[in-house]
Structure 1
């Protein structure tokens, strides 16, 4: 009897994956040589160890990137739908951001004091995302750490509630998951000596009853969540879910922190603003400054007043929040340019239009081969998922991941000139993405599906 994986004959899948790996390796001698020459300086041979986790035999070595295209050292141009896993959501080196960075570089890169660009960037953050009192960080991980500290400080409560399968950067406090209905530390954590499960609570996304039960204990300072779960197979909120979450938080005097680092792809101002969801704190990172390392976290005015009272009473000394290079003038120059001239309604209209085209093209390809898969989209973010039905929570999302199939599809797309996100099946549309690039991705996906499903 033929063994199937996500509807694919496993022998056929193995043959396809082997062939594509050989094709990739044979086509990139310069990349292999350069990686071999330089690998001794880095742990695992790359600047960040996870760069080895791409589904290729070895990572691409990028020579340049512009707009929605990257070029590697072997001269191959790839249509980029990964876009730095959202970091370059608005394209590589948007012209207004590149000009602002070059201009600021002539006037200093860091001096631990505000600049005129900082003041204007603060105004633009409010214009784009809502009425918050802002602070700047270098990464969304840093921003989330600060938000958690503030939540605990003003509420006097120790615990943070997150949804099973979430990801909020490298924040130890919320590296937890559900196991047998209990909150436990995530498996695979390196060098973890404290137990974050003592100060965190996990419930399933879309389970309002479980959320209400957890908040009723009275020890949860804040719910930290993405409006849509994105760092697994995407999970959309049920109708009315977020209204119920907001009401439950208010009833329990628990704060709501929304991390829109990924869901900024959903539309101008993020998912919450587009859906009328009020947050007590708002976190945004990655793409907010057009690719320059920058993040922001904001407090709603009433919460800012509460924190000011707390802050005035605490002992002088280190707060445990902030890093020296955060809030530097280079960040503010890029942030101002991106918010004013790149992150616009016109850009989002273009992104949405092409994302719909991609969604429809991928769905047609899946239907065409009879695959038990589906496609999901949130604004400019599109994913194919190797499961027949929409997902409801993190447990279902984990079960829907099919690593051998996803790796094979990814590699097949790379060999056909298209790059998607490495850790799941996410594709992003930027303002720089062209209709022809979307059509090439759809065509490459059709080719790969035809080979996998013997069409």
Structure 2
């Protein structure tokens, strides 16, 4: 597969680096010329913000500078220079069900007249608990504001009820900014991920790490008897997508039960699979479940649930622990705006009909991208989990996080990204992820495939 040796030879993903650099320079010039207002606003940074941006990752878009959004609606986004783009990024999953779905917008307007936060339940809260239990299959739920928070809180519960200190993650995982998950495997040894700011701890002291799809390594790691919880996505995302091999999830569940370890499934990205997520679609049986980003239609919110057994064990633990702050919960979590937006999303937006539409167009996108790759003879592949599609500039399928890291081709991906923006298509900035929303149209998918094909043709025209 594509990796460091090929890149060192001046070729990335089967494309000469000189071709990639030339395309990116040309596309960057076109981008900047077409956006004078965004260039004036963003190129030198915005006054008052550290490094000129409200959040540091706004500097990480592959374009010469981020464009300023005028508005977003459905599956389109419009910048202040008047460019209207087909949006396949959708807030990197936060707006997966489209920008401002009508039922959510109505719920926000209604709740805004009733108060936005007051640390007490609303009438929507009285309905939401049962909605979550029916939708995702676990009986007991809590509300948080981000999936990072929800994962942190769920891991506290896991450690509390098991009396064990460690968690286990899979190499290449993504669980927001949960500290313990910021570990990589390097030459078979766990290390802190590079680039962590201000990290003074050795995170490998609290975290075990093995490769995704490696049940033998998982068995050995859990056999130490000190792992409270395995936290995993059903499919590795936010890098180069890695699908589970046949039997992996059954083996994962069997091994965690064998060793008395809890299993946390983080569906924040794989909710693209079905209304109940990958978990309900494929009959997974987690002890703990987390979902963030799109669950409130774009309003910051997340949920985390637990099985009846874990809830019973947690209740017993609470009765014996000394009084004091649990380390779980934030003041704005479980606010009435979240309740209203989540209820509207679950009842009216995340429907079977919506998912059928998303899946159909995602398959069309997958096939179109694959055909373009094959037509131009490139050693790339396409992966999909429901409405989430990703082109990967290396052969596949990938088996684990180590292979995903080698397959990542930042310079090539950045050139393609800017080229797509110039052709009216926006995809996720940090990897090649594309989402289909209920508002996405067939013509938008076809435009994306056509733009991708044109860029790939330019990259390969002199190969």
Q: Is this contact kept in 1: 2:235–2:270, CA < 8 A?
A: yes
The aligned residue for residue 258 of structure 1 is 265
Relative distance call for 1:3 and 1:318 in structure 2 (3 A) is closer
Q: 1:425 & 1:342 partners in 2: Cα distance? A: 25
Unaligned runs of 5+ in 1: none
Q: 1:415 & 1:403 partners in 2: Cα distance? A: 18
TM-superposed CA distance for 1:268, in Å, is: 1.6
Say which of 218, 223, 234 aligns to 1:227.
Answer: 234
Matches within 5 A, 1:332-343: 332-343=339-350
Q: Is this contact kept in 1: 2:44–2:52, CA < 8 A?
A: no
The aligned residue for residue 415 of structure 1 is 422
TM-superposed CA distance for 1:67, in Å, is: 0.3
Relative distance call for 1:406 and 1:38 in structure 2 (3 A) is closer
Say which of 102, 105, 109 aligns to 2:116.
Answer: 109
Q: Calculate the TM-score normalised by the size of structure 2.
A: 0.97
The aligned residue for residue 67 of structure 1 is 74
**RMSD, aligned CA:** 1.0
Q: Is this contact kept in 1: 2:73–2:100, CA < 8 A?
A: yes
Q: Does 1:136 align with 2:132?
A: no
Q: Does 1:177 align with 2:165?
A: no
Q: 2:12 & 2:195 partners in 1: Cα distance? A: 26
Decide which moves more: 371-380 or 33-42: 33-42
Matches within 5 A, 1:372-451: 372-451=379-458
Q: Secondary structure at the match of 1:337?
A: helix
Q: 1:3 & 1:241 partners in 2: Cα distance? A: 37
TM-superposed CA distance for 1:272, in Å, is: 1.2
Q: Does 1:17 align with 2:62?
A: no
TM-superposed CA distance for 1:181, in Å, is: 1.3
Say which of 211, 219, 223 aligns to 1:212.
Answer: 219
TM-superposed CA distance for 1:37, in Å, is: 7.7
Q: Secondary structure at the match of 1:41?
A: coil
TM-superposed CA distance for 1:180, in Å, is: 2.2
TM-superposed CA distance for 1:123, in Å, is: 1.3
Q: 2:27 & 2:381 partners in 1: Cα distance? A: 24
Q: Does 1:357 align with 2:372?
A: no
Q: 1:424 & 1:37 partners in 2: Cα distance? A: 25
Say which of 164, 167, 184 aligns to 2:171.
Answer: 164
Q: Secondary structure at the match of 1:184?
A: strand
Q: Deviations over 1:376-403 (max 9, x none)?
A: 1110000100112210000000000011
TM-superposed CA distance for 1:116, in Å, is: 1.2
Q: 2:257 & 2:213 partners in 1: Cα distance? A: 18
TM-superposed CA distance for 1:6, in Å, is: 0.9
Decide which moves more: 90-99 or 193-202: 193-202
Decide which moves more: 34-43 or 305-314: 34-43
Say which of 17, 28, 40 aligns to 2:47.
Answer: 40
Relative distance call for 1:434 and 1:154 in structure 2 (3 A) is same
Unaligned runs of 5+ in 2: 1-8
The aligned residue for residue 134 of structure 2 is 127
Q: Secondary structure at the match of 1:40?
A: coil
Q: 1:451 & 1:124 partners in 2: Cα distance? A: 50
Q: Secondary structure at the match of 1:91?
A: coil
Q: Secondary structure at the match of 1:245?
A: helix
Q: Deviations over 1:240-295 (max 9, x none)?
A: 00100100000000000000000000112000111111000000000001110000
Q: Secondary structure at the match of 2:46?
A: helix
TM-superposed CA distance for 1:209, in Å, is: 0.2
Q: 2:126 & 2:262 partners in 1: Cα distance? A: 27
Q: 2:217 & 2:124 partners in 1: Cα distance? A: 44
Q: Is this contact kept in 1: 2:175–2:266, CA < 8 A?
A: yes
Q: 1:95 & 1:3 partners in 2: Cα distance? A: 49
Say which of 295, 310, 313 aligns to 1:303.
Answer: 310
Q: 1:292 & 1:251 partners in 2: Cα distance? A: 39
Q: Calculate the TM-score normalised by the size of structure 1.
A: 0.98
The aligned residue for residue 325 of structure 2 is 318
Say which of 201, 209, 212 aligns to 1:194.
Answer: 201
TM-superposed CA distance for 1:36, in Å, is: 5.4
Q: 1:404 & 1:391 partners in 2: Cα distance? A: 20
The aligned residue for residue 6 of structure 2 is none
Q: 1:241 & 1:174 partners in 2: Cα distance? A: 20
The aligned residue for residue 58 of structure 2 is 51
TM-superposed CA distance for 1:448, in Å, is: 0.5
TM-superposed CA distance for 1:9, in Å, is: 2.1
Decide which moves more: 382-391 or 332-341: 382-391
TM-superposed CA distance for 1:136, in Å, is: 0.3
The aligned residue for residue 285 of structure 1 is 292
TM-superposed CA distance for 1:132, in Å, is: 2.8
